[in-house]
Structure 1
């Protein structure tokens, strides 16, 4: 069959149904350009592979977006996952999610701990319970995928403890969690590969400088974009500083510290957070997003491809060599775009001010909880007394009724 067709092309030329060469070239070039663009924007695949059986991983943000893909990849390689979720363990969605994850990965070592990252008290409850275990619990990896953002056009919000929401969830929660878990990280055996993976975003490049008086974002100009960028910049400065904090620890066995902090920029992906940002949280924005979805599909990564750099940070052996605090993007090490990320003076001031903010916030929250507890106990006492008085009244009324019946019967 190919020979007659080729012969007809040779003797008779192109068939009438075949498009003009220029038209074919135009459409072929356009298709090739789109394919090349999609290939480029999808990013690199993780070239490293490693089994994670028996390794204990704490993961935040593991129920949606990039974090959900990371959870699946880790669980499919045998890791024991401890998911920190805002929902309680008996939440129907969370129960279904964990059961589905266990089924798809054939890994039963997946469970959840309720930790509200917008509450310093909730974080302290979990972290202190973890480090209070004797002997020290195994801990191989901490992956901090949780993040939040305020959509453009919306007002500044605060947590119940009075901290700006983006600053709290994106930075201060991680600062507080790692600060309390430090003893558990330092207690791991020397030959254990311990990694703290901190995803970031290249929005940190355009963030304003970290001024000590603005820690917590209670003063100065505020915008959703600036607040998100500042929180990511602070997280990167802290990550570098936290690696130095771990390196400065003198182990009882006099061996070098084995924990490595790895910063990862997964790139822009089609996640729920990105959709909220693009749509501005409006129905009209969502409509336009659906109409032009092909543009988002073409220019943004899938959550699975965005998770590749995080998995590279979790599995690549070369990251154990040399110092920690490396920045990974597209499954390769890159340099930071800002010098103040490495500035020790900036890191010192940020750490001190963050400590002060945590102490002040926790103290105020503790006083509030004590006052609410006292009010609740007083209210319960009043209700108990009222209930007792009501019971006595009913008893007297019942006795009075019996006496009246007895008097009537006597007459």
Structure 2
């Protein structure tokens, strides 16, 4: 078949059904360009593999986006996955999500615990409950995937505790969580591979300096998000040094490693909210030009490959912690202040002070609310007692009135008989 076809092309020229060579070349070039662009923007696959059976993993942001894929891959490999969710485990969505994850992976060791990263008290309540155990609970990995962002053009939003929400969720809650869980991490046996995987973003490169807090007109959603990611990276590096400085009772080296991961830009709910500016018109534009999002942004599965590499690669244990991984390989940080010890010290101290101040204020507020609730309960109890006494007095009065009526009727009847 090929030989007669080529001979026909040579002697008779192109058949009428065959496109012109120029047009064919044009289509082939366009198709190749799209294919290569998609291949390049999708990133690398995770080349590492690891048996996760029996390992205990705490993960934030495990119900959507990249975190959901990471949670699925961990559960599929047999890990005991504890999803730290904003809503309580009894919430219908969380119940359904956990059941679905168990069914898809065949792993029933998937649970949910409530940790609202916008509430320092919620973080403390979970972390203290986790470490309040003897002997210490097993903990193999902490994966911090949760993040939030205010859409472009949005206004500054504060949590109920008065902290800017981006700074709170992306940095301060993680700082608080790891700070309280430090005893549980340090208490793990030496032969246990303990990893703290921290998801970051390349937006930290454009962040303002950490010693220049955003206030007033300087605050924008972009700057707030970038600064929170820079602070998270500085803290992660400092936290590795904090773990390394600990002297184990058995005098063996510290076995916990902190790994920073930049998964890249992906088609996650957070990115979609950012691109659409949180509006319906923005969503319409996003859907119209969805091809470009598909072409240039990673899928959540491909974006999770660097996270999975950080969780499974064997070299993580053998090499120093605090490394940055992107596209399943080590890369250098683009800013020197990420490794600046003075910057890290100031950030650590200011964060501790902020948490202490906020928690004191909230403790006083909760105590006041508790007193008010107790006072209302006592008032309600007294009101119920007064109402009960009043009803009892009313019943007695009615009884006496009826008795007096009966006596009056008897006296009237007796008087009538005497008159007769």
TM-score range normalised by the length of the shorter chain? over 0.9
C-alpha deviation, 1:394, in angstroms: 1.7
Aligned to 1:328: 325
C-alpha deviation, 1:330, in angstroms: 0.4
Give yes or no for contact 1:152–1:277 (8 Å, CA) kept in 2.
yes
C-alpha deviation, 1:6, in angstroms: 4.9
Aligned to 1:352: 349
Rounded Cα–Cα distance in structure 2 between residues aligned with 1:219 and 1:283: 28
> What is the TM-score when the length of structure 2 is the normalising length?
0.95
Counterpart among 223, 226, 240 of residue 243 in structure 1: 240
1:390/1:16 CA distance change after superposition, 3 Å: same
- Do residues 230 (structure 1) and 227 (structure 2) align? yes
Q: 3-state DSSP class of the match of 1:82?
A: strand
Q: 3-state DSSP class of the match of 1:108?
A: coil
Deviations 1:5-33 (A, max 9, x none): 45544543322111100000001000000
C-alpha deviation, 1:2, in angstroms: 5.6
Structure 1's unaligned 5+ residue stretches are none
Q: 3-state DSSP class of the match of 2:44?
A: coil
Aligned to 1:311: 308
Aligned to 1:300: 297
Rounded Cα–Cα distance in structure 2 between residues aligned with 1:128 and 1:11: 85
Counterpart among 334, 338, 361 of residue 335 in structure 2: 338
Aligned to 2:123: 123
Rounded Cα–Cα distance in structure 2 between residues aligned with 1:85 and 1:378: 33
> What is the TM-score when the length of structure 1 is the normalising length?
0.97
Aligned to 1:191: 191
Rounded Cα–Cα distance in structure 2 between residues aligned with 1:194 and 1:82: 15
Rounded Cα–Cα distance in structure 1 between residues aligned with 2:2 and 2:366: 83
Aligned to 1:364: 361
Rounded Cα–Cα distance in structure 1 between residues aligned with 2:171 and 2:217: 18
State which drifts further: 316-325 or 229-238: 316-325
Deviations 1:249-270 (A, max 9, x none): 0000000000000000000000
Which structure is larger by alpha-carbon Rg, 1 or 2? 2
Aligned to 1:49: 49
C-alpha deviation, 1:4, in angstroms: 5.3
Rounded Cα–Cα distance in structure 1 between residues aligned with 2:64 and 2:297: 17
Aligned to 1:207: 207
1:219/1:363 CA distance change after superposition, 3 Å: farther
Aligned to 2:418: none
Rounded Cα–Cα distance in structure 2 between residues aligned with 1:8 and 1:328: 56
State which drifts further: 227-236 or 315-324: 315-324
Structure 2's unaligned 5+ residue stretches are 410-420
Aligned to 2:256: 259
Rounded Cα–Cα distance in structure 2 between residues aligned with 1:26 and 1:409: 113
C-alpha deviation, 1:392, in angstroms: 1.5
Q: After superposition, where does 1:19-168 map in structure 2 within 5 Å?
A: 19-168=19-168
Aligned to 2:177: 177
Kindly tell me the number of residue pairs found equivalent between the two proteins: 408
Q: 3-state DSSP class of the match of 1:101?
A: helix
Give yes or no for contact 1:85–1:114 (8 Å, CA) kept in 2.
yes
C-alpha deviation, 1:219, in angstroms: 6.3
C-alpha deviation, 1:399, in angstroms: 2.4
Deviations 1:14-69 (A, max 9, x none): 22111100000001000000000000000111000111000000000100111111
Give yes or no for contact 1:142–1:196 (8 Å, CA) kept in 2.
yes
Rounded Cα–Cα distance in structure 2 between residues aligned with 1:28 and 1:388: 88
Give yes or no for contact 1:164–1:218 (8 Å, CA) kept in 2.
no
C-alpha deviation, 1:220, in angstroms: 7.0
Deviations 1:59-81 (A, max 9, x none): 00100111111100110000001
Rounded Cα–Cα distance in structure 2 between residues aligned with 1:320 and 1:14: 63
Rounded Cα–Cα distance in structure 1 between residues aligned with 2:227 and 2:65: 22
C-alpha deviation, 1:233, in angstroms: 0.1
| CA RMSD between the two structures | 1.3
C-alpha deviation, 1:3, in angstroms: 6.0
